[in-house]
Chains A and B, each alone.
Chain A
Amino acid sequence: MTALRYIFACVTLLLAGSVANAAWWVLDPSHSFNDAAGKPIKATSLTIDMKAANLQVLSVPFELKASLGSAEVSLRSFAAHASKQPRYGNKEWIAVNGGFSSYRVDVPLGLLVVNGKVYSPLVKEKTRTAYAASDSEFGKLRWSGVLCQFKGNNSWDVIAATRYQPGLCQQALQAGPVPVEPNSKVGISPAEATREKPYKRTIICLMNDTRMRTVVTQETQLFPLAQWLSKAESGRGLGCRVALNLSGDSSSGIAIRSPGNAPINFIGEGSFPIPTALLFEKK
């Protein structure tokens, strides 16, 4: 009888642990949407409740205490390194690849603000390919969006890089293009689907509520992806209010570190060196 009680208690604890996990993140690897040719593209989403989680924008070389230009660390290596650090040690956290590289793989391209410190200023490179509608603020610059945690209220949003003002963000990461512009507007021209090559993608998506989603996809053009991201959840879309394209291809990935000694769960390739990462932690 005592043994039965013990087993029951253990099962209850395990279930409670799962419920606690589910309270701040949910992984769904079952998504699929069609590309322009009607071919199904698989995608994995990780939904995070930002009421229960913190998001940090990180400089990968500085996090590893390396000098700029000397660290060639992929998401997989970064996650493996972080799991051995006392700061992240036994905690549960999720790391996602960040923005694009500049003149070295570990040098960030465009705005990077970490804990109020500006490591890299905004880049105002003009767009070469007209992805977005001509009247869109997001169509003017190549790296058209900034994931910004506003100073003051600490809320997160994706703003047009043209609208960024110095000192606006406590944390910020510039990337692009912006496949979903505010109010779920598709921000990519349909012509993109026929003109551009497909790539593996990592997307950060902000919902209408307090949820934030990161999405890792198979190789796809941006237009069909943007259509799917912007479509309402009830219509089998992802329901993004606004979404930003992060670095993709072989750098694209999500690393989920569970408490204890469980191995890190990797989604996507995450094998190419990255300059920045996004790290979600439970509050």
Chain B
Amino acid sequence: MAPETPSAPSKNPTQPEEQGKTRPDQPPNLSTYFKPLLDVVFLFLPGNARDIFQKGLLKPLIFLVFVVAILPLLMAFLAGFWLKGLGNIDVAVIKNLRLAYLEVLQDGFSFEEVASRSNARLDYFQWFEADLQPGAKTFKEFRISIQPRQKAAITYKTVTYKADTPNCSLPEEEIDLISVFLGEQLIETLPQQTNSNHTFEIGKSWWARNMPKFDSDEVVQRLSFKLTNEAKKLPQCGRVHVEGSVSVFKDLVSS
């Protein structure tokens, strides 16, 4: 038995493909010319696709594709378009509405969690290295830029104390060597460490605890290292070396 094709004579006058046919008394339209081409295409269509055409399901299929595939992209595009536009409007109400909307999206889609799994959102990376000397150079400051609530991390590769001259002999007691300050705030003190990659995280919980100590409108511009009071008493013939890096991320943590 030959397979049924759309061009085969139909016994059912209500079939959709019949609806589009032209009567002999009407002038030929565009579909008249395309019909033979479509018939050829149908010959090569797999069984399911032929069924869709024969049962008149083409329109519902196009609607489904639009709702499932095109509409979500269109909505996201329109949302992004309007949010971008609203961001340029300097009206407090609109600003707050936009921010509230963005926070819902951020929490809903777990942007923070996804971003924290990679360093794709790194804003900048800065290396620091300093030699401090008891009785001489007890302080070193580095220029940085961290917005209040901006996520950052300070990683220490080395904090160590070494003799600077052959006549020097260092005490061997373990003491805290340096105090680390972010702006004016002491954030931690560190003993000797080598290849430790000890990291101080400035994240959501840190900002929640320490935000009151910072001006919410002012960028933190200084990372500084000071010898501790104990280290200041060490022999002046030695030096304390500190080196590491600051990673500042684009993320602003929510309160």
**A binding-site residues for B, Cβ under 8 Å:** 59, 62, 67-68, 102-103, 107-110, 114, 116-123, 125, 142, 166-167
Contact = CB atoms under 8 A, between A and B. Distances in A.
Interface string B142-168: 000000000000000110111111111
Interface string B229-255: 000000000010101000000000000
Nearest to A62: B166
B177 to A, nearest CB: 10
**Which one of B170, B171, B172 has the highest number of Cβ atoms from chain A below 10 Å of its Cβ?**
B172
A146 to B, nearest CB: 12
Contacts of A166: 172-173
Given A109-B194, A117-B163, A119-B170, 20 more contacts: A62-B165, A102-B158, A102-B160, A102-B162, A102-B194, A103-B158, A114-B166, A116-B169, A117-B167, A117-B168, A117-B169, A118-B172, A119-B163, A119-B168, A119-B169, A120-B170, A121-B192, A123-B160, A123-B192, A125-B195
User: Could you say which interface size class chain B belongs to?
Assistant: 20 to 34
Contacts of B196: 125
A123 B158 CA distance: 11
A246 B165 CA distance: 24
A109 B165 CA distance: 16
Nearest to A113: B169
Interface string B184-198: 000000001111100
Contact of A120 (B162, B165, B166): B162
Nearest to A166: B172
A103 B165 CA distance: 17
Contact of B163 (A68, A110, A122, A142): A68
Contact of B243 (A103, A108, A120): A103
A121 B176 CA distance: 14
A103 B195 CA distance: 9
